[in-house]
Amino acid sequence: MKDLKKVLKPSRMPDHSGYFGEFGGRFVSETLMEALYELETAFKKAWSDRVFRKEYQDVLTEFVGRPSPLTFAEGLTNHAGGARIYLKREDLNHTGAHKINNAVGQALLAKRMGKKRLIAETGAGQHGVATATVAAKYGFDCEIFMGSEDARRQSLNVFRMNLLGAKVKEVDGGTKTLKDAISEALRDWAQSVLTTHYVLGTAFGPHPFPLMVRSFQSIIGREARQQIMKKEGRLPDALVACVGGGSNSLGLFHHFIGDASVQMFGIEAGGRSLSEGDHAARFQGGRVGVLQGSKTFVLQNPDGQILRTHSVSAGLDYSAVGPELAYYFETGRVHFDAVGDDEALQAFDTLSRLEGIIPALESSHAIAYGIRLAREMGRGKILIINLSGRGDKDVLEVARLRGEIS
């Protein structure tokens, strides 16, 4: 591990230019630079303001339903036959996932900045639903950009967004998934920065978005740390979270980064195989490059052309990963692996039947790896898996994949 003392002090990152080591930065048009500077100033001022922080916490308590429980998974623990497995229950949040933590924070910030309209990208639809929810709560106009393939896979969430008063704009270009939705959202924001705030949903994009999203999501790890100390009297031996852009993983990891005894595992989408175009495992087949405002690991060919991706999970089906996670990969602080479609679908069933909890397909990747890891760790160890969302949105897609519906 490179420069261990520095890696274990995440509060020092990013630097003033938005870099985590060599990753991050602002790679955008001049049109957006001024908006990003304005946003950075507004966020830093708000995040250091006790009144803002109290309002944020109050909304998380009264509207979102935090703290989310840390649940001992007895059935899953017995099934794995090793470490004691706890689930951080972000699936129990209002709207059904961790995404609402960030959406609330950014909506309060947009209100403070005097913006009238919110836009967002979404893949699995949970961030779109969360953004539509806070827009309805605070009276913003709202437009959500979503790849048409993701809209097909997540039709229930499209209906929920419409019900909440948001306009869903399907993106038919490119892969028709999350990457293309982000591109459209950035184009819209460049043309409407005076009145619009872009609620980017993951710890990716140009600075200050990775910092903002990680900060708003860090409530997950803060609670988990307090809860496991109360339940077990010590820190966990390992943490597991799925990795799309990085919001739920960094949310869990952030308050444990400084604890060298706690191992961390980020699980990417292994898709059908690790052949080109069959997966979305950036640390398995990616290389350093720039995409949508940030320098990070990107799935691209030697000419810099972005590769197609695939995952059974819409929320993990993305060509790049957040810059802070890229830094933790390079330094070795976080270990990364991939889980394929079939293993994730099996874990979807396993958690449903053993714990009475239907997980999101994104979270199923973490569950699958957590079962493997618990067996390897053995008895007497403690493992926390971030259950980032519930699976209501995925039930019809799973049924379709199994040929139970057309």
- Kindly list the catalytic residues: 99, 121, 388
From CA 334, how far away is CA 262, in angstroms rounded?
A: 10
Q: Of 346, 357, 370, which Cα lies nearest the Cα of 69?
A: 357
Residue with tokens 């195989």: 273
Other C-beta atoms closer than 10 Å to the C-beta of 221 total 23
Which of these, 398, 395, 404, 400, lies nearest to 157 by C-alpha position?
395
Contact of 100 with 136, CB cutoff 8 Å: no
Helix 219-232 and helix 209-217, axial crossing angle in degrees, nearest 10 = 30
Residue 213 token pair: 């999203």
Residue type, 97: A
CA distance 168 to 159: 9
Do residues 313 and 269 lie in contact, with contact meaning Cβ atoms separated by under 8 Å? yes
Nearest CA to 187 among 292, 315, 39, 297?
292
The Cα–Cα gap between 119 and 189 comes to 8
Burial (0-12, 13-18, 19+ Cβ within 10 Å), 354: middle
Q: Are 39 and 194 in contact (CB under 8 A)?
A: no
> Which residue's entry shows tokens 């690991």?
297
- Would you say 133 and 369 are in contact if contact means Cβ atoms under 8 Å apart? no
Name the H helices within 21-168.
Answer: 30-47, 50-59, 74-80, 99-113, 126-138, 148-153, 155-163
Sheet of 117-122, strands arranged across: 167-171, 141-147, 117-122, 196-198
Q: Can you tell me the distance from the alpha carbon of 58 to that of 56, in angstroms, rounded to the nearest whole number?
A: 5
3-state class (DSSP) for residue 291: strand
283, 319 Cβ separation under 8 angstroms:
no
At 356 the three-state DSSP class reads coil
